[in-house]
């Protein structure tokens, strides 16, 4: 496909069109991804997550600018709330990334969550591959910021950064175990605010309680993204984590796990669609719905009945 060829050569117009095709599952999207995949595996993936209001967008903007100044080609995926009308992104995060918007070699794309668990839509992984294949050295993924349950990002990145901020009220709520366990690096942004040192102390204490002992001790970096403070130290820690993963063959292992999860997810989608197509309109299915509604049957027994019917076909 000519569109894929142009995207692989770095055409931003082609990259944008290809992403739109994949995100909306337009005709030919899967064939396009089959052509894209052999060119992937070179970009380093960095995820940013944390509570709403922690300044993730500004932080991503400053990190991207610093990496760009080090001659890295950058891709940014900003996960935004989905439009209730179109399902697309509302572009809120992208508006705040002013420093890198017009920089050559930087491509920014907003994606809607589209109901994806953990704020990550099913298309996110494919968009990462497109940016990777187009020649981006580093891809930064910023999640929507839905709080404690936003942990799925760790499954699609190499380095996961958890961003916190002083003054969110209930410190314990912002540092629940789920989101604490996914961080490779912790950032206390807006650290000029009162209580920043207290947040650092709490994060350090919770890390000390982690029963899983690893060689990598998660660093805590204080930043003031709006003033570009702490950004160089954060990038240094990102590179140290990358070195740690590479030297211990953990990066390769992590990426193999990612491939396994992706195959499983794609297979589940195919099976789900297959089952849906087969049972849709079947008289036994409609009859079972009526029986369940009348309390003459139950959903659990009905699943076994439908599975037996599918096996017979």
pLDDT tens, 42-71?
999 999 988 888 899 999 999 999 999 999
User: What average pLDDT does range 89-100 have in this prediction?
Assistant: 60
Q: Which residues contact 9 (CB under 8 A, 6 or more apart)?
A: none
User: Are 111 and 123 contacting, i.e. CB atoms less than 8 angstroms apart?
Assistant: yes
Examine the domain organization and report whether 169 and 97 are in the same domain.
Answer: yes
What pLDDT, on a 0 to 100 scale, did the predictor assign at position 309? 84
User: 185 is written with which tokens?
Assistant: 């690096």
In a domain, 193, yes or no: yes
Contact 247, 212 (CB under 8 A): no
Residue 171: exposure state from Cβ atoms within 10 A (0-12, 13-18, ≥19): middle
pLDDT average, residue stretch 285-301 = 92
Among 248, 277, 297, where does a domain finish? 248
Whether residue 136 is contained in a domain is answered as: yes
The two three-digit tokens of residue 94, written as one number = 């992208």
Residue range of the domain that includes 164: 41-248
pTM of structure: 0.86
Mean pLDDT estimate for the chain: 85
Residue 115 lies in a domain: yes
């Amino acid at each position: 496909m000519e569109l894929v060829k142009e995207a692989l050569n770095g055409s931003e117009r082609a990259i944008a069109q290809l992403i739109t095709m994949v995100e909306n599952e337009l005709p030919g999207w899967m064939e396009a991804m089959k052509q894209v995949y052999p060119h992937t595996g070179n970009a380093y993936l960095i995820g940013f997550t944390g509570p709403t209001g922690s300044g993730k967008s500004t932080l991503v903007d400053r990190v991207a600018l610093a990496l760009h100044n080090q001659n890295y080609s950058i891709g940014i995926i900003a996960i935004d709330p989905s439009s209730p009308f179109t399902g697309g992104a509302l572009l809120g995060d992208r508006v705040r990334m002013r420093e890198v918007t017009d920089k050559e070699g930087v491509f920014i794309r907003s994606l809607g969550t589209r109901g994806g668990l953990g704020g990550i839509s099913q298309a996110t992984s494919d968009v990462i591959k497109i940016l990777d294949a187009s020649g981006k050295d580093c891809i930064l993924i910023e999640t929507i910021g839905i709080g404690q349950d936003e942990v799925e990002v760790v499954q699609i990145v190499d380095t996961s950064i958890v961003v916190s901020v002083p003054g969110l009220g209930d410190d314990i709520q912002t540092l629940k175990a789920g989101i604490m366990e996914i961080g490779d690096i912790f950032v206390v942004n807006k650290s000029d605010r009162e209580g920043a040192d207290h947040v650092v102390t709490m994060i350090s204490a919770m890390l000390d309680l982690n029963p899983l002992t690893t060689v990598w001790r998660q660093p805590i970096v204080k930043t003031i993204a709006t003033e570009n403070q702490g950004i160089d130290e954060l990038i240094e820690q990102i590179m140290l984590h990358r070195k740690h993963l590479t030297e211990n063959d953990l990066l390769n292992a992590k990426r193999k796990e990612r491939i396994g999860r992706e195959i499983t997810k794609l297979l589940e989608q195919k099976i789900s669609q297959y089952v849906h197509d087969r049972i849709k309109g079947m008289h036994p299915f409609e009859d079972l719905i009526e029986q369940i509604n009348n309390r003459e049957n139950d959903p659990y027994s009905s699943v076994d009945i439908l599975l037996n019917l599918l096996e017979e076909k």
